[in-house]
Structure 1
Amino acid sequence: MNQYDGIVYYGVVNNIADEESKLGTKYSVPQIAFYKGLLEAIVQEAGNDGSITSIDALNVRLDNQVIIVDGSQESQSRLPTSIKNFSLSQKEKTLDELIRDRWLSYTSTGKIGLGTRSFLDLRSWFRGNDIPSCMVCNEACIKASSCPNEECNVRIHEYCLRKKFSQRKASRACPGCGTEWPRQDGEADGDDVNEPEEDQAPSANHSSRKRRKRVKAELVEENDNAGPSTAVPRRTSRSMKAEAVEAAQEASSAGASQATRTSKRRKK
């Protein structure tokens, strides 16, 4: 699930971290260290927005991602040269590659967030690093809403909130502390707009029946006001049609009798 837009994606993930799988990556050691630094900065973002600015991304330090056995003051000098010499332009290039390969993404606000591949591949990493999970779906909360009660640590994804509170007259109480959960931007204040009220359909049908009765009454009133003059032409028209048919039949029979007499004269 892409937590920025709520779209579901499917993919195949390798869960075995062996030497062969490590050889499958195209990224160098400093690039991987840079990605790890970006990942930590995004998931630890204080506002639960799950994103950081481009400036913050380029300011991520790589030396914090390199594991050094001892913590002496000389550890800084033991950093690999590729880490120490990783320039700002190399960070920009790596950032573009990570976005293109969908390890990272641009959010709707133009910030840097996790990409689809990160959501698919890092589910076990999220659990292992104690990333808070959603109270509804139990997945890691990278972008989520927090309970308004500062003493409550409940987090819920925005799309899980819409699903949980979408039913009409559903309680908006926090499942952890019972505090009323605020509505999201653009969410209706009343009942669910997609679910019709129980009395909406009968009301619409009643209005439709009233309109039909009113139109019918107007037609009857017009006929009454017109009187027999409206009906007379109809009867006259029907009688004229009948007379025309009778005249045609008489003409046909007359023609037939005349033809018979002519035939008899020729025979004589």
Structure 2
Amino acid sequence: MPELNWKHHTLIQSLLSRGPLSSNEFHKIFEGVTGRNPGAHDKLFNDYLLKINKELSFVQFELRACRNQYNGKVYFGIVNNIEDEQSKFGSKYSVPQIAFYRGIIEAIVQDVTGQGCISNIDALHIRLDSQIPGVSQSESEPQCQDVPAALRNFSMSQKEKALEELVRDKWLSNVDGNIGLGIRSFLDLRSWFRNCEVSSCEVCNEAGVKADLCPNEGCSIRIHNYCLIQKFSQRSAEKVCPGCSNPWPYTVTKAEALDIDNELNEATSKQGPSQRKRGRSSQSDNIGSGSSQSVTLRRSARIG
């Protein structure tokens, strides 16, 4: 990467060694390296990210930002654009562990209530044979003999250990005692969400894994909580569903509106013009397209 200096390399290494960082954490590192605290529209910060991404693209990696749907915070991470699972999870996770992870995220995104999580018990009872092409959970016992032995013999204690590792590595998260997606998954699975037709947020057009549903049961509109704050923060904003026009009861506090406004301005300033055009709103938080990865520049892990 001849065009990058030690400051660029320090920023890259901070994300590779520590994993995804919140915008506040990443900004502090940037300030320590450059002596400048990036504001909402800091050109120097944007230039650094663009130059880093230009060089990382040669090795099919990328620096990306996304929003954690459970707390609304923006995170940065280095992502891997290789599409196969083994290159995304590298050598750390076994085939049964990857199948277990896939089963959990599928159960989470298929939740029609938009809660974005499943119980710990439900997670541990995920059947791994559902991750084998051509084998369904309803098939008879003889047919299930086609399931690899490693998956058939994946015990409950092994699942518990895998769950702990996936939460620790930020692929999954603990959401009030339940299992939700981790920030690495939000960074990593954008293309997977789209390919699996996961319902998207009406405001930002990102996957609505954790989102509020329209009060009208006949309407399929869902909106992230932080997008609702953005949408309804203005006094003149009409609090109705953008799909069915029925009232959408929602009260935004001044503190919420101010906080989300600052973060949205900050996140959108880090997108290039072409990226801002792709989303339905400026809230897509893209720096590129890819996935958050592990501590070295070898091809780590991803599903989507």
For residue 233 of structure 2, what is the aligned residue in structure 1? 166
User: Between Structure 1 and Structure 2, which shows a larger proportion of strand residues?
Assistant: 2
Q: Deviations over 1:127-171 (max 9, x none)?
A: 000001111111000000111111211110000001110111310
- Unaligned ranges ≥5, structure 2: 1-66, 258-304
- Indicate how the Cα distance of structure 1 residues 87 and 180 shifts in structure 2: closer, same or farther if over 3 A, else same: same
Question: Whole-Å Cα distance in 1 between the matches of residues 170 and 161 of structure 2?
Answer: 14
**Where do residues 69-108 of structure 1 align in structure 2 (5 Å cutoff)?**
73=140, 74-107=142-175
- Unaligned ranges ≥5, structure 1: 196-268
Please say if 1:130 is aligned against 2:226. no
Number of residue pairs matched by the alignment: 189
- Displacement of 1:18 in angstroms is 5.0
For residue 144 of structure 1, what is the aligned residue in structure 2? 211
**Where do residues 231-242 of structure 1 align in structure 2 (5 Å cutoff)?**
none
Could you tell me the percent identity over the aligned residues?
57
**Where do residues 141-220 of structure 1 align in structure 2 (5 Å cutoff)?**
141-183=208-250, 187=252
For residue 181 of structure 2, what is the aligned residue in structure 1? 114
Letter in 2 for 1:42: I
Question: Whole-Å Cα distance in 1 between the matches of residues 115 and 159 of structure 2?
Answer: 23
Please say if 1:16 is aligned against 2:55. no
Could you list the runs of 4 or more consecutive aligned residues of structure 1 that deviate by over 4 angstroms after TM superposition?
A: 69-73, 192-195
- Displacement of 1:12 in angstroms is 2.0
What is the root-mean-square deviation of aligned Cα atoms in Å? 2.3
Is contact 1:68–1:75 with CA below 8 Å preserved after alignment? no
Classify the secondary structure of the residue corresponding to 1:48. Answer: coil
Question: Whole-Å Cα distance in 1 between the matches of residues 101 and 177 of structure 2?
Answer: 18
Instruction: Return the TM-score normalized by structure 1.
Output: 0.65
- Indicate how the Cα distance of structure 1 residues 167 and 19 shifts in structure 2: closer, same or farther if over 3 A, else same: closer
- Displacement of 1:46 in angstroms is 3.1
Question: Whole-Å Cα distance in 2 between the matches of residues 59 and 51 of structure 1?
Answer: 14
Letter in 2 for 1:50: G
Q: Higher relative contact order at CA 8 Å, sep ≥6: structure 1 or structure 2?
A: 2
Aligned partner (choices 101, 115, 123) of residue 57 of structure 1? 123
- Which has more radius of gyration? 1
Question: Whole-Å Cα distance in 1 between the matches of residues 167 and 126 of structure 2?
Answer: 16
User: Between Structure 1 and Structure 2, which shows a larger proportion of helix residues?
Assistant: 1
Classify the secondary structure of the residue corresponding to 1:143. Answer: coil
- Indicate how the Cα distance of structure 1 residues 119 and 20 shifts in structure 2: closer, same or farther if over 3 A, else same: closer
Classify the secondary structure of the residue corresponding to 1:169. Answer: coil
Question: Whole-Å Cα distance in 2 between the matches of residues 154 and 117 of structure 1?
Answer: 26
For residue 27 of structure 1, what is the aligned residue in structure 2? 93
Question: Whole-Å Cα distance in 2 between the matches of residues 115 and 5 of structure 1?
Answer: 11
